[in-house]
Structure 1
């Protein structure tokens, strides 16, 4: 139940943040807005460091883990965020967010192809629902 609650809370936050971003983008270019948003991330990291006494897992990280996490940060935290801001500035929030939120479809496919994750009827049904929603918004 705790996992479900945390996932639901994450979904709520991720659903609320684009609203704030759309309002914030109303009078600024996406690149400038992105840089201002990054200051919020930086402030959050500073607060996290201040209240976290130690980071024992840093010493245990291998080169592979570091590489993939940095690469993920660049892709999600810079490239995708800038593309997202451009789409959000140009389009209606009610159309942009459902399309950008179809990322589980790509995660499902990558997990199946590269990680050998199981394909189940419920997963396929979920992916079909996502695809149907995207087609309706097009």
Structure 2
């Protein structure tokens, strides 16, 4: 059975929880400091899982291509978090979190352009609805 959707739902739940907990946790501090501290927690959690699963010794299997694109992904993640936390610090979660989900429509577009994935009618309609919803929230 394909379980990708279970992980996707869990990801969405924890992303939503992230916004709420971050908004509460960064009260009275700089958003960059909050991002840096959260990044340490994520780092420790991720490596704990790797070690617990016994996959630490497979780090040597990473190719130059893996390292390059995971590094670029890490940079993109870091920049996303920095801007997300800054937006959360000065905006309402009910506005920032949905606008952040515009990334779904952007990811659909980039998957077609960069990864040459097929754009289905459902994905196109979904992306259009996300964009329309984002515009409504911004206005």
TM-score computed with the length of structure 1 as normaliser: 0.90
Cα deviation per residue 1:54-81 (whole Å; 9 max; x = unaligned)?
34543332211110001111221x2111
Q: Does 1:89 align with 2:89?
A: yes
Gaps of 5+ in 1: none
Q: What does residue 59 of structure 1 align with?
A: 60
Q: What does residue 128 of structure 1 align with?
A: 128
Q: What does residue 10 of structure 1 align with?
A: 11
Q: What does residue 107 of structure 1 align with?
A: 107
Cα deviation per residue 1:48-103 (whole Å; 9 max; x = unaligned)?
24413234543332211110001111221x21111111111010100000000111
SS in 2 for 1:115: coil
Q: How many angstroms does 1:115 deviate by?
A: 1.8
C-alpha RMSD over aligned residues:
1.6
> Across the two proteins, how many residue pairs are aligned to each other?
137
Q: What does residue 28 of structure 2 align with?
A: 27
